[in-house]
Amino acid sequence: MWPKTLKNAPGQGNYLEFLARRDKSVGAFLHVTGSIRQNGGAPSDSGADGGNTCLEGVPVAVKDNIAVEGMPLTCGSRILEPLVSPYSATAVERLERAGARVVGKTNLDEFGMGSSTETSALGETNNPWDVSRVAGGSSGGSAAAVAARMVPVALGSDTGGSIRQPAAFCGVYGLKPTYGTVSRHGLVAYASSLEVIGAAAESVDVLEAAYAAMSGSDVMDQSSLDHPVPPPDSGATRIGFLGGELGLSPEVAENYARFVEALGDAGYETEEIALSTLEYVVPAYYTIASAEASANLARFNGVRYGHRTDYSENPEELIRKSRTEGFGSEVKNRIVLGTYVLRSGFQDQYYLRAQKIRTLIRREIERAFAGVDLICSPVFPTQAFPHGSKEMDAFQQKVADRFTGTANLAAIPALTVPSGLAGGLPVGMQFMAPPFGEGRLFAAARTIGEIFPVEFPPGMEPPWAADRE
Amino acid sequence: MDSAELTTTIDMAMLELAPDESDTVQRSVSQMLDYFAVMAAAPVDGVEPTTHAFSTTNRTRPDTRNERSVADELLESAPDLEDRFIAIPNVL
């Protein structure tokens, strides 16, 4: 349906009109291109890449912490509001080479710090299923753009669940690849050892095509990996599902039980598993993420780019004032927290201990995969919550990262799949696979997609079609 | 975290917070540190820390000339320029 959408110039104008119209109630985009970028997709290039022709002419949206040449790169922050990126991320370049067309930049929690897209300083994003609710975060704009059928696939970044959680809230697929398989060159760093570029998508096919186009080692990212392309995965037979007291809302608990039952109906052997390290996931994750954030965000100082304070007497005052004015409150919280856990005298107690716990988590995950092919768990304890929710405040949102954070700490791939509706809102479940097991995730998503097909919000079912507009 | 620790940490983070903002940060950070206390019970004796999941050795790229320079665009991004120099307040 989508392929070749933007190949013909006459169709492009009314596609952009469609985008502006549909985004009015959603607010997925911070920036929409005035004209469709064509530079990436020389036909000979896309042919040479092979196998990705289903991306030819397909519109993609890009989270606004991933660089696209000539477009803003705000990270949802006042401090980078004036910045226009002089180059494109490797992942974007590769997608464009496969024929995809970047149509705009999507909203996010400031620097990816949040689970609701509400910490963005530059715009509000609504859930397309219910505009009084959040789209999730931090890649809320990307997931909302896909759910509202503005694009079939949108890039995001996932540091502790930032693609998978909004994908669940919006009822679409969301992939967090194996760490290192997609170059981070051009992704504005927040927590370098945890984050990875991935995507939200309306179908497994387009998600797989986008992942295939983006992945591969890159000289510009020394943590990117040379690994052989795995053979097509014959799929999982044994799935371990996370059991015990998980602290889920009644709707998510009921949906999870039904999902596990459906796995059995689909022919998988299922067994309940427990992860003893689960209680340490969120503390270890936030210790490491905040520590890395405090270092990575030290570069934003008002000197070379971004926001600069109006007046200062000396360079140090310029830096302090620019940072204080430019960063939002959640970012300041995490910078101070990260600075604290790295201070001499506290480092062993927090940062070093968290790194050791990370080893325990990796080992436990390795052991778990000796017995099962995939691990299944909820994505988030609740469905999409209302804007400004008191119950789901900033602290509770962090605590709720317990199911998603494991994959980032263990560097393994994980995929959110839609699991039906409850009370008119989508629910999503998560599969985790051993490193480089993306093929196995896609295979399972296709199988379970027969039982839980992706659904779209009322009124937003039809995607753009040149002849209808 | 007490007020003295908070003040020192905010200073190290190159921020200057108004009193009400400082109170908010103190509450938020203290809440997280309390929450982190659970890590004390983790059996980590003799466990090696993981800094990066797959990194083994340092990888470098060839020291070759890049065909395209973005120097001008990068300079244009600066808030204040004098010719091709980035302008800041007096250092002395």
Domain of residue A13: give its range: 1-469
Residue A232 pLDDT: 65
Query: How far off is chain B from A83, nearest CA to CA, in Å?
Result: 6
Catalytic residue among A46, A63, A77, A183: A63
For chain A, the domain total comes to 1
Q: Helix, strand, or coil here: B76?
A: helix
Tens-binned pLDDT, residue by residue, of chain A (469 aa): 565 667 666 667 788 899 999 999 999 999 998 777 665 444 433 334 444 468 998 999 999 999 999 999 999 999 999 999 999 999 999 999 999 999 999 999 999 999 999 999 999 999 999 999 999 999 999 999 999 999 999 999 999 999 999 999 999 999 999 999 999 999 999 999 999 999 999 999 999 999 999 999 999 998 998 776 666 666 789 999 999 999 999 999 999 999 999 999 999 999 999 999 999 999 999 999 999 999 999 999 999 999 999 999 999 999 999 999 999 999 999 999 999 999 999 999 999 999 999 999 999 999 999 999 999 999 999 999 999 999 999 999 999 999 999 999 999 999 999 999 999 999 999 999 999 999 999 999 999 999 999 999 998 877 777 656 5
Q: CA distances (Å), A412 to each of A10, A115, A367, A453, in order?
A: 43, 21, 13, 25
Which residues 6+ apart lie within 8 Å of A316 measured at CB? Answer: none
User: Which of A347, A356, A395 is the mutation pick for testing B, counting most B CBs within 10 A?
Assistant: A356
Give the closest of B24, B39, B80 to A353, CB-based.
Answer: B39
Residue pair A110/A140 in contact by the 8 Å Cβ criterion = no
Q: How far apart are CA B22 and CA B28, in angstroms?
A: 10
Q: Which residue has the tokens 């986008």?
A: A210
Per the CB < 8 Å rule, is A286 touching B79? no
Q: B86 touching A, CB under 8 A?
A: yes
Residue pair B33/A340 in contact by the 8 Å Cβ criterion = yes
User: Which 140-179 residues of chain A touch chain B by CB within 8 A?
Assistant: 179
Chain B CB contacts of A323 below 8 Å = 14-15
ipTM (interface predicted TM): 0.95
Cβ count near A433 (within 10 Å)? 25
Whether residue A44 is preceded by a cis peptide bond, meaning omega within 30 degrees of 0, is no
Q: A72 touching B, CB under 8 A?
A: no
Return the CA Rg of chain A.
Answer: 21
Residue pair A150/A56 in contact by the 8 Å Cβ criterion = no
Residue A354 pLDDT: 98
Q: What angle do CA A279, A434, A236 make, to 5 degrees?
A: 110
For residue A362 the two structure tokens come to 């990796």
Q: A184 touching B, CB under 8 A?
A: no
Q: A310 touching B, CB under 8 A?
A: no
Q: A358 touching B, CB under 8 A?
A: yes
User: Which of B1, B2, B8, B9 is the mutation pick for testing A, counting most A CBs within 10 A?
Assistant: B9
Beta bridge partners of A126: A134
A176 is a catalytic site residue: no
Residue A2 pLDDT: 66
Q: B42 touching A, CB under 8 A?
A: yes
Q: How far apart are CA B72 and CA A354, in angstroms?
A: 42
For residue A429 the two structure tokens come to 């479940």
pLDDT tens for each residue of B10-66: 999 999 999 999 999 999 999 999 999 999 999 999 999 998 877 667 778 888 888
Q: Helix, strand, or coil here: B62?
A: coil
Residue spans per domain, chain B = 3-41
User: Which of A194, A276, A278, A337 is the mutation pick for testing B, counting most B CBs within 10 A?
Assistant: A337
Nearest CA in chain B to A399: B35
Q: A73 touching B, CB under 8 A?
A: no
A162 is a catalytic site residue: yes
Residue B91 pLDDT: 81
User: Any idea what the CATH number is for the domain that residue A204 is in?
Assistant: 3.90.1300.10
Query: What angle, rounded to 10 degrees, do the helices at A329-342 and B3-12 form?
Result: 100
Q: Compute, in degrees rounded to 10, the torsion defined by CA atoms A47, A48, A54, A58.
A: -80
Q: B64 touching A, CB under 8 A?
A: no
Query: How far off is chain B from A69, nearest CA to CA, in Å?
Result: 10
Residue B92 pLDDT: 73
Q: B3 touching A, CB under 8 A?
A: no
Return the HEC string of chain A.
CCCCCCCCHHHHHHHHHHHHHHHCCCCCEEEECCCCCCCCCCHHHHHHHCCCHHHCCCEEEEECCECCCCCECCCCCHHHCCCECCCCCHHHHHHHHCCCEEEEEECCCHHHCCCCCCCCCCCCCEECCEEEEECCCCCHHHHHHHHCCCCCEEEEEECCCCCHHHHHHHCCEEEECCCCCECCCCECCCCCCCCEEEEEECCHHHHHHHHHHHECCECCECCCCCCCCCCCCCCCCEEEEECCCCCCCHHHHHHHHHHHHHHHHCCCEEEEECCCCHHHHHHHHHHHHHHHHHHHHHHCCCCCCCCCCCCCCCHHHHHHHHHHHHCCHHHHHHHHHHHHHHCCCCCHHHHHHHHHHHHHHHHHHHHHHHHCCEEEEECCCCCCCECCCCCCCHHHHHHHHHCCHHHHHHCCCEEEEEEEEECCEEEEEEEECCCCCHHHHHHHHHHHHCCCCCCCCCCCCCCCCCCCC
Catalytic residue among A77, A88, A116, A138: A138
Q: How far apart are CA A92 and CA A188, in angstroms?
A: 13
Return the CA Rg of chain B.
Answer: 22
A183 is a catalytic site residue: no
Q: What's phi and psi for A319, nearest 5 deg? A: -65, -50
User: Which of A193, A218, A285, A339 is the mutation pick for testing B, counting most B CBs within 10 A?
Assistant: A339
For residue A461 the two structure tokens come to 């079912």
For A23, counting Cβ atoms within 10 Å of its Cβ (0-12 exposed, 13-18 middle, 19+ buried), the class is buried
Query: What angle, rounded to 10 degrees, do the helices at A329-342 and B19-36 form?
Result: 50
> CA A357, A359, A361, A363 torsion: positive or negative?
negative
For residue A447 the two structure tokens come to 């199988």
For residue B44 the two structure tokens come to 């980590």
Residue pair A98/A143 in contact by the 8 Å Cβ criterion = no
Residue A229 pLDDT: 63
Which residues 6+ apart lie within 8 Å of B14 measured at CB? Answer: A298, A301, A319, A320, A323
Chain B CB contacts of A315 below 8 Å = 88-89, 91
Chain A CB contacts of B54 below 8 Å = 179-180, 223, 225, 411, 435
Q: How confident is the model at residue B3 (pLDDT cuts 50, 70, 90)?
A: very high
Give the closest of B44, B59, B70 to A357, CB-based.
Answer: B44
Q: CA distances (Å), A255 to each of A144, A205, A264, A372, in order?
A: 22, 25, 15, 22
Q: Helix, strand, or coil here: B40?
A: helix
